[in-house]
A and B are shown apart, each in its own frame.
Chain A
Amino acid sequence: MRNLVDFLIKYSTWFVFTFYVIISCIFLFDKNPYQHHVYMTSAGKLTAGIYDMSHNVTSYFNLRETNEELQLQNARLEEELLSMKAELQQYQERYHADTMTVFEPVRPYKFIIASVINNSISRPYNHITINKGSKDGLRPEMGVIDQNGIVGVVNVVGENYSRLISLLNPNFRLSCKVKGNEAFGSLVWDGKDPQMALLEELPRHAVYKTGDTIVTSGYSLMFPDGLPVGIIAGSEKTIDDNFYTLRIKLLTDFSRLSTVRVISSEMSSEIKEVETNNTEKNNQKN
């Protein structure tokens, strides 16, 4: 017994060292980002509180650029609204005689406005912290956009804060297509340039040219169909000959994220329910 105690004391440093290394490795190799506990991430109360305080100061820094971008978007939306109003007017006139009512457009998506309080672009796996949480109706796997394009997807939700997986994170793959073309591929960041990403697995028959816009495909439930993501900047050489890989210039400027919109989809829970029901039924059949 005495020998054992002596042994433990003599080599205590190695035991302590091994213990800490093992704990670190457990964190390090836990690859499922959706299972992290909220207190171990930047969405925790203390950590997010500190980021919130510093955000109160730094949020003023980029107001000019943000304002300009908003003005531009506003102008674009106004144009779109006017043209749509004109179109609607035409239809109303045309169908007036047929007593056909014009449908109220279905609006399955709702936006929740949030501020980015912490953000990184220099790491290989980037995350973003925002100041809205489960109290405001956020749930994991909701999509997040800003005035220019796609930002990321909600990942860990705290009471008042949440952590997002940034688009600049190889763990996040986004289903996208070339605008005006139904061929779709999968957008993923390659860890190099925060302005560039890769569109992989685009079928060989897809027609595209440099400068075309890439939009979301709407196949994932996080983002509606047709949100702008980036612009084709060129193509990459691939090993697989059946697919193209394109280099995409992202529209979102991740170095200046300020206000973002979380997309809360009324439909997504319904679609998900249908999907799970189907798979359950299939499983029962089998």
Chain B
Amino acid sequence: MLKTVIQFFILYVLMVLAQVIVFNRICLFGYAVPLVFIYFIIKLPVTLHINWVLTVSFLLGLTIDVFSDTQGMNALACTLMGLMRKSVLHLYFPREDDMTSSQPSMRSLGVSVYLKYVFSISLIYCTLFFFIENFSLFNPGRLFIKIASSTLLTFIILTAIESLRSRRNEKRL
């Protein structure tokens, strides 16, 4: 239990640092911004109580907000994301008991289900975030391109991180 908590704490710090130091500076073609820190919310165990999921999601969003000067935007999007996470997973994987471990990963869910899950989460998060961010400067065409390109970029990077991690785990076994 304690080991998992420490593992997740380290993941939290790593994700925040990676996002603010590296990924926040990436902006492909003026549109695509990778929002990679949601990997932390994706990886939270499904058995974790929803109140805890909301709390850590909110804190994660708030930390990113403080670093990138986006007052409350990520915090709001992350809280909404935390609420929707389980329903999204149930969409593709109705029975939790079939999972080999409580943590969503390529192995515990199977590659195709996991990819669908990550893609949906990326799409929902990018939609939420860019809608909140462009609240007052509304420009539908630009917003749509931003959401689509950022979702794709986020999805690709998240898949890359996950495949790197699962390969390393296989070597260890």
Contacts and interface: CB of A to CB of B under 8 A. Distances in A.
A17 B33 contact: no
B66 A47 contact: yes
A163 interface: yes
A127 B58 contact: no
A121 B55 CA distance: 30
A170 B27 CA distance: 20
A17 B65 contact: no
B21 A122 contact: no
Nearest to A164: B69
A191 B137 contact: yes
A148 B134 CA distance: 29
Given A24-B61, A120-B24, A17 B72 contact: no
Nearest to B16: A50
Interface in A86-125: 120-125
Contacts of A41: 66, 69
B80 to A, nearest CB: 8
> Number of contact residues on B: which range applies?
35 or more
A27 B75 contact: yes
Nearest to A42: B69
Contacts of A192: 139, 142
B71 interface: yes
Contacts of A39: 66
B54 A122 contact: no
Interface in A31-62: 36, 39-42, 44, 47, 50-51, 54
Contacts, number: 89
A128 B54 CA distance: 30
A21 B71 contact: no
Contact of A24 (B24, B67, B72, B136): B72
B72 A28 contact: yes
Given A21-B79, A25-B72, A121 B27 contact: yes
A4 interface: no
Contacts of B76: 21, 24-25, 28
Nearest to B50: A13
A85 to B, nearest CB: 44
Nearest to A46: B66
Interface string B104-142: 000000000000000000000000000011101101001
Contacts of B65: 27
Contact of A127 (B69, B80, B136): B69
Contacts of B137: 124, 170, 191
Interface in A174-190: none
Given A17-B79, A21-B76, A44-B66, A27 B142 contact: no
A12 interface: yes
Interface string B80-120: 10010000000000000000000000000000000000000
Contact of B20 (A20, A50, A194): A50
B10 interface: no
